[in-house]
Amino acid sequence: MSAIDILFQNARLADGQIVEIAISGAKIVAVASTAQSYDSVGKIHDLGRRLVLPGLVEGHIHLDKCFVGDDWKPHRPCTAGFSVRERVRFEKEALASARPIAERAAALIDLCVAHGTTQMRSHVDVDAEVGLRHFESIVAARDAHREKVSVQIVAFPQSGILTSPGTADLLEEAVRAGADLVGGLDPAGHDGDAAGHLDVVFGIAERHGVGIDIHLHDGGMQGISEIEEIARRTKATGLGGKVTISHAYALGEVSSGAVQRTAQRLAEAGVAILTAAPGARAFPPVLLLRDAGVNVFSGNDNIRDSWWPYGDGDLLERAMLIGYRSGFNTDEQLAEAFEMVTANAARALGLAGYGLTVGGAADFLVLDARHVQEAVVARPKPRDVYKNGRLVARAGSIVAAAA
């Protein structure tokens, strides 16, 4: 067999098999349970039977908002119950005195990468006040850190679209400038006109061939009707497989009969659901949706920002929290929680060649666990993290300089 760059020996796969993994360039060229012969091998690493997992996929993060890499900023609660509008106002005030986005995003990227994240989808605020400034900063961060992590960008109307004049044009400008997806925010609850809001979002997606990822906190039957409308429009526009509804709290608030019907529509349309199972909120029933054929994936969402003070970017911890809050105890259920931060998220992000497979990108992490279930319940550290076959983090610290 041909020349390879690195041979990882004694790698434990999720199914317990001990294999060797051969890397050439940035790709996996062999995963074999018996020793293969190669014309030449650049380097050999003995992994000592540690567990090798595919790089973790962060399905929803806000790189422009976090205060990681900045002073601790105590949480400021809403004055009269939770209000997105008030939270956005508080956030703008807090961000005005924060360190530059480049520094905070870099600190958060490093935190996430050190835990094993090799791919991300980041929402980035776009509105009339900040214009494309956050977007441009995150594009720069994406490029500066691309040797450690691949970042997809969602142009996110955090202040609304119809109620924030000028935002529709800015979203389209962001997409023209390279945003991978167009976002949305509570079409009815925040903007007061679900049809008008979705006309803008789907219009931009159709005109530019990009995906959609809509934040939907709207609850109860109002939320359900918006979810069904998003599914209907996805089907009508042929955007199946490229549309995500993030949070979709309503799916956790209505009867299981109503969820069943909505799940059917989501599955038929090819709309994925993102849940972070946050705090004390009801959240979508993961297994019911999965059984109906809906792709359900996860991400950390807000990390130490104006919205809440929690999080350290560890997706194995996020998988644990989802399992914990869902009452997952069996091996099969724990494996499902793991899938939500790996294969399911990769599918939602449209990542080709994901996983520890021949031809796939050599993105993986190595840790002390016997199997996926133990990785989820114990979140072992330290971890070694590889991106495109290169060691990028060891024992919680970044080892490779940014590009």
**Residues in the site for Zn ion, rule: CB under 5 A?**
301
* Identity of the residue, 301 or 336, whose beta carbon is nearer to Zn ion in the bound complex: 301
* Smallest gap from residue 295 Cβ to Zn ion (A): 18
* Identity of the residue, 301 or 384, whose beta carbon is nearer to Zn ion in the bound complex: 301
* Smallest gap from residue 62 Cβ to Zn ion (A): 6
The span from the first CA to the last CA of the chain, in angstroms, equals 32
* Smallest gap from residue 68 Cβ to Zn ion (A): 16
Alpha-carbon span 91 to 127, nearest angstrom:
13
* Identity of the residue, 47 or 95, whose beta carbon is nearer to Zn ion in the bound complex: 95
* Identity of the residue, 299 or 355, whose beta carbon is nearer to Zn ion in the bound complex: 299
* Identity of the residue, 7 or 101, whose beta carbon is nearer to Zn ion in the bound complex: 101
* Smallest gap from residue 319 Cβ to Zn ion (A): 18
* Smallest gap from residue 61 Cβ to Zn ion (A): 8
* Smallest gap from residue 181 Cβ to Zn ion (A): 13
Query: What letter represents residue 108's amino acid?
Result: L
* Identity of the residue, 244 or 373, whose beta carbon is nearer to Zn ion in the bound complex: 244
Alpha-carbon span 96 to 341, nearest angstrom:
32
* Identity of the residue, 180 or 301, whose beta carbon is nearer to Zn ion in the bound complex: 301
Query: What letter represents residue 44's amino acid?
Result: I
Residue number with the smallest Cβ distance to Zn ion? 301
* Smallest gap from residue 227 Cβ to Zn ion (A): 17
Instruction: Write out the chain in H/E/C secondary structure.
Output: CCCEEEEEEEEECCCCCEEEEEEECCEEEEEECCCCCCCCEEEEEECCCCEEEECEEEEEECCCCCCCCCCCCCCCCCCCCCCHHHHHHHHHHHHHCCCCHHHHHHHHHHHHHHHCEEEEEEEEECECCCECHHHHHHHHHHHHCCCCCEEEEEEECCCCCCCCCCHHHHHHHHHHCCCCEEEEECCCCCCCCHHHHHHHHHHHHHHHCCEEEEEECCCHHHHHHHHHHHHHHHHHHCCCCCEEEEECHHHHCCCHHHHHHHHHHHHHHCEEEECCCCCCCCCCCHHHHHHCCCCEECCCECCCCCCCCCCCCCHHHHHHHHHHHHCCCCHHHHHHHHHHCCHHHHHHCCCCCCCCCCCCECCEEEECCCCHHHHHHHCCCCEEEEECCEEEEECCEECCCCC
* Smallest gap from residue 311 Cβ to Zn ion (A): 12
* Smallest gap from residue 209 Cβ to Zn ion (A): 23
* Smallest gap from residue 298 Cβ to Zn ion (A): 12
* Identity of the residue, 246 or 388, whose beta carbon is nearer to Zn ion in the bound complex: 246
Alpha-carbon span 192 to 49, nearest angstrom:
56
* Identity of the residue, 151 or 392, whose beta carbon is nearer to Zn ion in the bound complex: 151
Distant-in-sequence, close-in-space partners of 269: CB < 8 Å, separation ≥ 6: 231, 232, 234, 235, 240, 243
* Identity of the residue, 172 or 301, whose beta carbon is nearer to Zn ion in the bound complex: 301
